Structure 1
């Protein structure tokens, strides 16, 4: 069935809600109560084209998985498609879009990037306001986020000298799979917010540099698309599983990623509910202040629909219980299992897959011990990059406590760490204390956003250079020579200035 814009526009409320995505029309009326991001966000585009807001946040197969076939109403007429195309061409750029375009034109050449912080600095300029708010946000006052980085500054090296270090080997294995450096791409959602090619662009960069990529359940591309984007079928991908509260749906997901060639499951255990990420929550208000105009989609001759305007249906929602406190992040977690337990979830997952299982989000020594007792293959010490529980201990501090209190755990399973890693020396400190490798999430999102695939490759090369320099100055030629005695935790006491 071919539909006109006028036909679609007649279905613009909660009683009958149609939306246009990529020139196809969907009846999402029945889906409104189940939408993870709440129904208000859909109703803003009821009877209209929602392609520009839909595509960066959803994998292409989301419609097939969530909207029954009978609700796929058909395509727009050719005239309607031409009208939308013309409207998009005439659409006035927002203040933020103009800022981003200017920043892209003025960004320095990638050859000038000497560190991961240099790349992040560029990314913060070229990212849209919404994307940066999501990528950079952390919970509450962002204390844990800041302390994750600061924690590494409390560990100093006891370097050895007069050792032959002309040949340094940075390679290692992670769950038995080879990696050129002891760093992997940690699962992070919505890469298309920063780059139109999304996670697949990171996949290609990871292949070129010989590192392993972990894919989030909430990636902006489907797990199948990312797997298919691998330049070689032998490229290793891990999968970060956010377990659905419905075991049958969760099992189907596990079987799907097995069939797509993923080599391990990292079960996320520290994000069962949405946290209070105020930077992300505040972004729409800040954009509203910035633009002082209607929603995107306004065309010449059309009265702008102001962000403050609402249909009667929307006003009822706004006055009721529809206030959204999850932001971009919260909408991704609404269907996740909040009742996972050691006694049921780990045995269940082991019963439905033979893949290695790693628990992502261990935050204390006691749970590291429980994980070893549960027989998992590894743990990722993580507080979700400071994005979940405020005042969680920095990951480096948890690793240090685990080494001091239960050094035997490191021989029972592999231990990894993420959160706050920005330098090769940070990686070396973690490895000295027993970590097998470290994960990085934000740095690769920033690299992708700033320079695409070349940014991902550049990030790995920077880390490799810093690792080799650090190893030589420490007096080691292989990662296996790193020992706990090579690092020391030091709390510097501030010296009061004389009045």
Structure 2
């Protein structure tokens, strides 16, 4: 089930409505399997989600698939553990399963036949190369692709429509070439910088990315630990699969900075409550995401849900719930035409309650009124909006098309950065400018800094790293980038990041030679 809504779920109860206080049996739970009375089991606890069905971001259908039965395997990988506590009234927490039922579920999990996808993952985990042999981020991604579930890979790697924007994000860096300076002292090369005043070993931060627990049981905590060990900065997504408190507690030291990627809820009171929570946990900046008010058309992610349904159908047949020996009846084409298909995928549910009416004139002043933390706008995609952001007085902008996951044919972030450099270079003196999308090499980082970026963000590479090797994979990724950045700085003739200037890079459109 995708993320529970954080809307107010206050309910009026009649005096005759009494919830059981004794342990519940699976038989009792199974009797509540309709939209009129829907109970689910999560980690051996029973919840009444009937009145939540119409407000569930992913729609009622997703929950009803598990009505009257155990939903732990679907719920746990993509929900922080405090989601139910935050979003269901105490009256809807019905109690624990009885011992017999809990043992029955444990036995069923133990006896369950593993899927082909799970068997594949086990084989690949056993055969993955030692971390010491990973030389670059592409190799890290390839290991992750093999060891994570098909569903996780579909969600992490998917992009909108034909994925052209995602591809072009990386290709954009191939259009920029260096003008290296030689005979400069670069023996003591220092790639460190500050981001919003916070020190970072390299001009790289983890850009917000959701649902890290899909790839590894420790999820975002792996990234937190890896950043803490390397003195780099993590941006935490509103849609993290761990609670904000769990992520904060994973910091290597109390002073380790954390940024928060805010998906603003349409209910300002709930949005403010979320901000207050991260402030109390010591988060250090708010990155307001403005380019994901609806989910992009991520077809790979959508198809992953269909695959999961097919696996469940096979499992039901194995358990004797299907009609053995008979082929399933196929729908007619007309029936298929009328069948309601979920085209939102995992991402659609995550943004279902986000504010679609944000404006420069209202949202930024409101945000300033509720927090003293630095404010960065994440998702700026053109020069005009960069100007409006500066006029609104924010502390920074993150040029981003959401990794190509939102609007197809949005310009690559590097091209937007280049346009700002050419058309409005004054912007760089008014706020800090960052970019993300398509960055996979140290030379990519250097090109962005030459054009005026303070730092760059990487999202998917850190999801892949923690999925493949846990916190050690995150540390390895940062060390790879540091080595590549330092090498590029020395070869371009820059001892510090301040020495990286626009004259050191040129945009070149190679044209094929005309045939004579």
TM-score, normalization by structure 1? 0.95
Deviations 1:322-360 (A, max 9, x none): 532210001000000000011110000000000000000
1:81: how far off?
Answer: 0.7
Once the two structures are superposed, the pairs formed by residues 261-272 of structure 1 within 5 Å of their partners are: 261-272=282-293
CA contact (8 A) 1:381 1:418 kept: yes
Equivalent in the alignment of 1:361: 379
Query: Which residues in structure 2 correspond to 1:415-494 (within 5 Å)?
Result: 415-494=433-512
Displacement after TM superposition at 1:394 (Å): 0.3
Aligned counterpart, 1:313: none
Distance in structure 2 (CA, Å) of the matches to 1:192 and 1:326 = 20
The answer for unaligned runs of 5 or more in structure 2 is: 1-21, 330-335
Please list the CA deviations of residues 57-113 of structure 1 after superposition, one character each: whole Å capped at 9, or x if unmatched: 111111011111101100000111111001000000011111111111111111110
Report the Cα distance in structure 2 between the residues aligned to 1:421 and 1:462, rounded to whole angstroms.
13
CA distance in 2 between counterparts of 1:329 and 1:218 reads 10
Q: What is the SS of the residue equivalent to 1:294?
A: helix
Matches within 5 A, 1:315-354: 323-354=341-372
- For residues 69 and 192 of structure 1, the distance between their equivalents in structure 2, rounded to whole angstroms, comes to 26
2:236 to 215, 240, 244: 215
Q: Which residue of 1 aligns with 2:143?
A: 122
Matching residue of 2:10: none
* Distance of 2:113 and 2:34 partners within structure 1: 26
Where does residue 224 of structure 1 map in the other structure?
A: 245
Q: Structure 2 vs 1, CA of residues 18 and 295 (structure 1 numbering), >3 Å: closer, same or farther?
A: farther
Q: Contact 1:90–1:299 (CA<8 Å) still a contact in 2?
A: no
Look up the SS of the partner of 1:153 in the other structure: helix
Structure 1 position 476, deviation (Å):
1.1
Matched, 1:294 2:296: no
User: Which of 394, 398, 413 is equivalent to 1:376?
Assistant: 394
Match in the other structure for 1:170: 191
Distance in 1, Cα, partners of 2:197 & 2:323:
56
Q: 2: CA distance between counterparts of 1:301 and 1:361?
A: 47
Counterparts of 2:119 and 2:27, CA distance in 1? 31
Q: Provide the aligned length of Structure 1 versus Structure 2.
A: 488
Alpha-carbon distance between aligned partners in 2 of 1:217 and 1:321, rounded to the nearest angstrom = 32
1:229 is displaced (CA, Å) by: 1.5
> Given the alignment of the two structures, is residue 22 of structure 1 paired with residue 40 of structure 2, yes or no?
no
The answer to whether the 8 Å contact 1:87/1:299 transfers is no
Could you tell me whether the CA contact under 8 Å between 2:190 and 2:495 is conserved in 1?
yes
SS at match of 1:379: strand
- The residue aligned with 1:411 is 429
| Correspondent of 1:85 among 101, 106, 111 | 106
Match of 2:82 among 61, 78, 81: 61
Per the normalisation by structure 2, the TM-score is: 0.92
Aligned to 2:199, the other structure's residue is in SS state: strand
* Secondary structure of the structure 1 residue equivalent to 2:177: strand
2:407 pairs with one of 389, 401, 405: 389
* 2:418 maps to which of 400, 405, 417: 400
How far residue 232 of structure 1 moved from its aligned partner, in angstroms, is 1.2
Instruction: Please tell me whether residue 149 in structure 1 is matched to residue 170 in structure 2.
Output: yes
User: How far off is 1:496 after superposition?
Assistant: 6.0
Gaps of 5+ in 1: 311-317
Cα distance change, pair 245–463 in 1 and its aligned pair in 2 (3 A)? same
Closer/same/farther in 2, CA of residues 347 and 301 from structure 1, 3 Å limit: closer
Residues 203 and 455 in structure 2, CA contact (< 8 A), matched pair in contact too:
yes
The CA RMSD over aligned residues, in Å, is 2.0
Q: 1: CA distance between counterparts of 2:289 and 2:139?
A: 30
278-287 vs 106-115, which moves further: 278-287
Do structure 1's residue 76 and structure 2's residue 97 form an aligned pair? yes
Mapped partners of 1:494, 1:213: distance in 2 = 42
3-state SS, counterpart of residue 416 of structure 1: strand
Distance 2:308 2:101 in 1: 30
